[in-house]
């Protein structure tokens, strides 16, 4: 702790404080309660955070969520963070859903800025240069656009930390640093968006290739291609470090991704690779949106109801990163540095991927790199493009303050003129094409003039030798702080609003932390209550612990969607009496054709029928157009009519997130349909004897019962989850303890050296 406040570190501590202040000032209206989160932050991530907080405060982990979509395997959704130590800690400290979620949001944001400071320092950037790039990062179009997507912010905030340790491992050939990078990478996947979990190893691979074949020392900006076999000696260490990083990271993130691989088949049909068309055309980054480098305002023009780039969501429409970052990143390329030009080539490749089907590059990657077939949203590639600009800008600031830099004044002035002119022209052109202006327009014009012509003015003063290069960097840092705070205010419409404030506070005021609710939780309704606002399909009901059937569910299922759209079908899963009995069910494969017959039978009888599916058949649900054929029994309409159900009068209901039990007296042998969702992790016993959990009516559970009294007990026990959790948390703990041990040894060695110095003299 004392070292933190030593003279050489005070400036860096000050830089960290400035970054935090910029984030807090830029979000002041959110922090004071004048505005509240919106879109996915309010409808999905905020309620899910409160649900996780309720569990950890009760000493439990989130496994199954019975309050949304008829039940959901939350442990199999990595972005929900059910095993993330950071999210669990924040949930434990959370005073209420509202304050806790916003605090977590700000902590994640601050982590991103701190990571860039550390990365820039590692790259040799002076403190003021590091501050400039950190401010550009935290006010970038990624943070403002994806403010509603806290899982994406979480992944990206830890990305600079991963790169910091990974690059240190490559440069020093230090495998322990590779272990650290792996632990941070795995941590970023626990609570992060899966697309980044897939893309980050690809980015690290490209980074490592550049480090193998190109070299740039920390004391000089010159670099050269490695020759005379030197690069051959570096391939093996780089490969081992990359494998170590990915391997350790995979161990850390194994609980969520292991559960996803084993616990979602049969529950969701959103498994397996995406189609090439979806992967290359869904939420692309429009080529015209490159103009957002000039101003954060331009992405606001893509907001509904009249977006200017309808092919993408407003959250994915901006790459604004600050005027100073763009200036310094281009300034860095004036040096004859093969390493820097490799980074520029990587940035170009990544932005070409981001534009999706507007260029063939994303399609080529889909064909050649199999993991990239498992996500859509090409626009997400742009964050790595922005990170490369951050790295180049950090190197550019180092150049500017370097004693051997004598010819940079004219280059900096020329770049400033070009960028100011280009930013002004692109801003005016896009506003003209949009044919509309928003409330933020006048502030955006002032911001544009200040940040672009401000750096131009400083470049003129430097060229005229009226200020020194060190003074220039400090003044640009001040300008970058103003840029960041104002950019955050301009982008507020994409982050939060006052519209949902009433139901946001209602969600907070009505919070019910209890997890054992056999009464109200059992009586499921279609949507969240009216006091939690519109539109339907949100997860706001979680804070109030009111079970609903229509929610936002990343793990989609086409059959459940049809249930929701059809009141006759959804009615069997709503209300307090939603268990059904049939002595003559029909066995059918859960495919599209049989679902149509099932729906017709329910409408004809105006009451449920029972269709059963084996476990193997349920696992085939992910095959959207496939059919495993018909099981025992016939599939004609007459057979379906004979499978008519009656309501089952159950008693002694005990209903908890991972447990359901009840008593039922059957007049004859038959099957019970329990209208909670089927998933592989569910086990059932009847009168103490294990039974098979069958699929019922395409998405629900069914179990066989005997004539007379039956005590039915369901338990959610996902295979291997707790073993993987032990591996994950043990890995993180061992890495943390190892680093403490390494630092203590280093400190003791340093103390011993100082003690021996007088004797040696």
β-strands 611-613, 694-696 pairing: antiparallel
Element (H, E) at 301: none
CA-based torsion, 23, 29, 32, 36: positive or negative? negative
Q: For 132-159, write each residue's pLDDT tens digit.
A: 999 999 999 999 999 999 999 999 999 9
Spatial distance between the Cα atoms of 311 and 345, rounded to a whole number of angstroms: 26
Spatial distance between the Cα atoms of 477 and 419, rounded to a whole number of angstroms: 18
Spatial distance between the Cα atoms of 128 and 477, rounded to a whole number of angstroms: 6
Rounded alpha-carbon distances, angstroms, from residue 85 to 49, 277, 552, 658:
13, 37, 25, 21
Lowest-confidence segment of 117-121, 206-210, 283-287, 467-471 by average pLDDT: 467-471
Q: For 597-636, write each residue's pLDDT tens digit.
A: 999 999 999 999 999 999 999 998 866 554 444 443 444 5
Residues with Cβ within 8 Å of residue 146, at least 6 apart in sequence: 152, 153, 156, 315, 316
Spatial distance between the Cα atoms of 701 and 715, rounded to a whole number of angstroms: 12
Q: What is the predicted pLDDT for the residue at 758? A: 37
Spatial distance between the Cα atoms of 331 and 391, rounded to a whole number of angstroms: 12
Q: For 9-30, write each residue's pLDDT tens digit.
A: 788 999 999 999 999 999 999 9
Q: Is pLDDT of 34 > 80? A: yes
Q: For 46-55, write each residue's pLDDT tens digit.
A: 999 999 999 9
Tell me which of 666 and 531 has the higher pLDDT: 666
Q: Can you count the helices (H) and strands (E) in the chain?
A: 30, 16
Q: For 101-126, write each residue's pLDDT tens digit.
A: 999 999 999 999 999 999 999 999 99
97-122 vs 150-172: helix crossing angle, rounded to 10:
20
Element (H, E) at 363: helix 361-368
Mean pLDDT of the chain: 91
Average pLDDT over residues 279-303: 97
Nearest to 287 by CA among 361, 188, 398, 366: 361
Q: What is the predicted pLDDT for the residue at 754? A: 45
Q: Is pLDDT of 531 > 90? A: no
Q: Is pLDDT of 757 > 80? A: no
Q: What is the predicted pLDDT for the residue at 66? A: 95
Residue 167 — pLDDT band, cuts 50, 70, 90? very high
C-alpha R_g of the chain: 29
Q: Is pLDDT of 227 > 50? A: no
Cβ–Cβ < 8 Å for 115, 465 = no
Nearest to 528 by CA among 508, 513, 544, 512: 544
Count of beta carbons in the 10 Å neighbourhood of residue 236: 10
Q: What is the predicted pLDDT for the residue at 500? A: 74
Q: For 650-702, write each residue's pLDDT tens digit.
A: 999 999 999 999 999 999 999 999 999 999 999 999 999 999 999 999 999 99
Count of beta carbons in the 10 Å neighbourhood of residue 616: 12
β-strands 611-613, 586-587 pairing: parallel
Residue 369 backbone class (left: φ over 0; alpha: ψ -120 to 50; beta: rest): beta
Q: For 695-723, write each residue's pLDDT tens digit.
A: 999 999 999 999 999 999 999 999 999 99
Would you state the structure tokens that stand for residue 730, as one six-digit string? Answer: 């043990």
Q: What is the predicted pLDDT for the residue at 468? A: 87
Spatial distance between the Cα atoms of 292 and 34, rounded to a whole number of angstroms: 28
β-strands 708-716, 611-613 pairing: unpaired
DSSP 3-state of 410: helix
Q: For 352-386, write each residue's pLDDT tens digit.
A: 999 999 999 999 999 999 999 999 999 999 999 99
Q: For 420-477, write each residue's pLDDT tens digit.
A: 999 999 999 999 999 999 999 999 999 999 999 999 999 999 999 999 888 888 899 9
């Amino acid at each position: 702790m004392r070292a933190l406040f030593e003279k050489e570190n005070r400036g860096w501590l000050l830089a960290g404080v400035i970054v935090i202040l910029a984030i807090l000032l830029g979000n002041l209206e959110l922090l004071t309660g004048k505005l509240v989160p919106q879109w996915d932050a309010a409808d999905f991530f905020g309620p899910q955070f409160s649900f996780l907080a309720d569990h950890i405060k009760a000493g439990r982990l989130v496994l199954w969520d019975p309050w949304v979509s008829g039940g959901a395997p939350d442990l199999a959704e990595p972005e929900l963070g059910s095993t993330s130590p950071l999210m669990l800690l924040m949930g434990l400290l959370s005073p209420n859903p509202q304050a806790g979620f916003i605090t977590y949001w700000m902590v994640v944001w601050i982590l991103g800025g701190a990571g860039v400071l550390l990365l820039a320092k590692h790259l040799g950037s002076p403190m003021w240069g590091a501050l400039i790039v950190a401010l550009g990062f935290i006010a970038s179009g990624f943070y403002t656009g994806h403010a509603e997507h806290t899982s994406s912010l979480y992944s990206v905030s830890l990305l600079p930390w991963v790169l910091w340790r990974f690059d240190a491992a490559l440069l020093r050939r230090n495998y322990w640093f590779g272990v650290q990078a792996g632990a941070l990478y795995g941590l970023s996947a626990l609570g992060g968006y899966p697309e980044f979990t897939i893309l980050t190893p690809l980015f690290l691979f490209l980074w490592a290739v550049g480090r193998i074949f190109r070299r740039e020392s920390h004391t000089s900006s010159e670099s050269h291609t490695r020759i005379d076999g030197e690069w051959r000696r570096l391939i093996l260490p780089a490969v081992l470090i990359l494998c170590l990083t990915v391997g350790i990271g995979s161990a850390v993130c194994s609980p969520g991704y292991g559960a996803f691989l084993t616990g979602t088949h049969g529950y969701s049909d959103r498994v397996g690779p995406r189609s090439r068309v979806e992967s290359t055309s869904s939420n692309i980054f429009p080529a015209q949106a490159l103009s957002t480098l000039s101003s954060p305002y331009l992405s606001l023009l893509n907001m509904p109801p009249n977006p200017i780039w309808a092919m993408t969501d407003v959250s994915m429409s901006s790459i604004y990163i600050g005027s100073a970052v763009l200036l310094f990143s281009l300034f860095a390329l004036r040096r004859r540095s093969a390493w820097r030009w490799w980074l520029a080539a990587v940035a170009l490749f990544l932005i070409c991927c981001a534009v999706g089907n507007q260029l063939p590059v994303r399609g080529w990657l889909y064909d050649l790199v199999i993991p990239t077939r498992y996500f859509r949203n090409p626009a997400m590639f742009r964050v790595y493009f922005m990170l490369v600009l951050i790295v180049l800008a950090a190197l550019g600031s180092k150049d500017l303050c370097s004693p051997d830099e004598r010819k940079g004044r004219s280059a900096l002035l020329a770049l400033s003129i070009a960028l100011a002119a280009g930013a002004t022209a692109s801003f005016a052109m896009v506003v003209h094409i949009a044919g509309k202006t928003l409330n933020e327009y006048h502030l955006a014009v002032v911001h544009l003039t200040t940040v672009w012509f401000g750096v131009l003015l400083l470049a003129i003063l430097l060229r005229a030798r009226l200020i020194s290069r060190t003074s220039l960097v400090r003044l640009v840092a001040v300008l970058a702080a103003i840029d960041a705070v104002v950019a955050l205010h301009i982008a507020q419409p994409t982050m939060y609003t006052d519209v949902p404030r009433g139901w946001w506070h209602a969600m907070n005021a009505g919070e019910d932390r209890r997890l054992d609710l056999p009464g109200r939780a059992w009586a499921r309704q279609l949507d969240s209550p009216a006091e939690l606002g519109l539109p339907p399909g949100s997860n706001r009901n979680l804070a109030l612990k009111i079970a609903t059937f229509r929610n936002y569910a990343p793990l989609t299922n086409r059959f459940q969607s049809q249930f929701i759209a059809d009141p006759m079908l959804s009615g069997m899963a709503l209300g307090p009496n939603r268990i059904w009995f049939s002595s003559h069910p029909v066995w059918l494969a859960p495919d599209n054709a049989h679902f149509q017959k099932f729906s017709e039978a329910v409408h004809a009888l105006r009451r449920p029928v029972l269709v059963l599916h084996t476990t193997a058949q349920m696992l085939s649900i992910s095959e959207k157009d496939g059919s495993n054929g018909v099981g025992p029994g016939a599939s004609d309409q007459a057979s379906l009519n004979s499978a008519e159900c009656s309501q089952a009068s159950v008693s002694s209901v005990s209903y908890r997130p991972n447990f359901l039990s009840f008593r039922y007296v059957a007049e004859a042998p038959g099957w019970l349909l329990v209208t909670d969702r089927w998933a592989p992790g569910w086990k059932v016993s009847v009168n103490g004897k294990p039974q098979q959990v069958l699929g019922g009516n395409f998405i629900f559970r069914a179990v066989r019962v005997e004539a007379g009294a039956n005590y039915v007990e369901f338990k959610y026990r996902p295979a291997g989850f707790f073993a993987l959790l032990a591996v994950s948390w043990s890995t993180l703990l061992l890495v943390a303890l190892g680093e403490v041990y390494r630092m203590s040894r280093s400190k003791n060695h340093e103390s011993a050296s100082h003690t021996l110095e007088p004797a040696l003299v």
